[in-house]
Amino acid sequence: MKIAPSLLAADFTCLRTEVEKAEAGGADLLHLDVMDGHFVPNITFGPIVVKAVRKLTQLKLDVHLMIKQPARYLEDFAADGADSITVHAEVCPDLPGIIGQIRTQQVCVGVSLNPDTPVDVLKPVLEQLDLVLVMSVNPGFGGQTFIPSCLEKIRQVRQWIDQAGLKTEIEIDGGIWPQTASEAKQAGVDILVAGSAIFGSGDVAENIRALRNS
């Protein structure tokens, strides 16, 4: 099980320290939430912050694009240090097309689904993906409550991946705490994203351990 702390919940007045704590605390990758105020109601940061974080850590940077026009920015995020780029199926009518565009940037390719988006949209493109990101809250904000219906979607994707013998990883994002982490693991998740549960309070390393042992 891999743990991906989401920087959204970190203290941005001391991002360097937060990133160092996550790396020293055993994080497997760092999750960076990019929001544009259009696809989601919130705005966070763009490539400039990815570029800064790239200089602070050896960890892989998992960039989650919650933006309406991801194709316009793929090159920038890749050049600034993303190791994987995940786009939302809801804004990509031509999924094979955008997957090919991300691939051209020589980064890992992810597609994400909102809680209300049926999992079927993934089936035709699954073997082209490194990552499936199942949202377990409506994207836009940290600290929301886990939506249990996402577990059924994870079980389905897990089954498709295993049946086809693919290496595609399943990531879950939103409302992940030790209890929900354990449910997600049982459903077949490979990567847990957690913001509040890691940076919210207490010790980052202990919080990561608690998720890993859940």
Q: How far is the CB of 156 from Zn ion (least distance, A)?
A: 21
Identify the CA nearest to 142 among candidates 31, 3, 26: 31
Check residue 148 for interaction with ligand DX5 (CB under 6 A): no
State how far the Cα of 182 lies from the Cα of 51, in Å rounded to an integer: 33
Residues with catalytic function: 33, 173
Q: How far is the CB of 44 from ligand DX5 (least distance, A)?
A: 9
Check residue 183 for interaction with Zn ion (CB under 5 A): no
| Binding residue (CB under 6 A) for ligand DX5 from 41, 96, 100, 143 | 143
Check residue 196 for interaction with ligand DX5 (CB under 6 A): yes
Instruction: Identify which of residues 173 and 183 has a Cβ nearer to Zn ion in the complex.
Output: 173
Q: How far is the CB of 193 from Zn ion (least distance, A)?
A: 6
Residue 41: name its binding partner from ligand DX5, Zn ion, none (Cβ under 5 to 8 Å by kind): none
Check residue 33 for interaction with ligand DX5 (CB under 6 A): yes
| Binding residue (CB under 6 A) for ligand DX5 from 3, 8, 61, 132 | 8
Q: Bridge-partner residues for 32, per DSSP?
A: 63
Q: How far is the CB of 198 from ligand DX5 (least distance, A)?
A: 8
State how far the Cα of 195 lies from the Cα of 146, in Å rounded to an integer: 13
Report CA-CA distances (Å) from 160 to 41, 43, 57, 145, 184.
33, 34, 34, 27, 17
For the chain, the residue count is 214
Give the strands of the sheet with 169-173, arranged side by side: 2-5, 191-194, 169-173, 131-135, 108-113, 84-88, 60-66, 29-35
Check residue 171 for interaction with Zn ion (CB under 5 A): no
Identify the CA nearest to 91 among candidates 69, 122, 116: 69
State the residues that interact with ligand DX5 by CB under 6 A. 6, 8-9, 31, 33, 64, 137, 139-140, 142-144, 173-176, 193-197
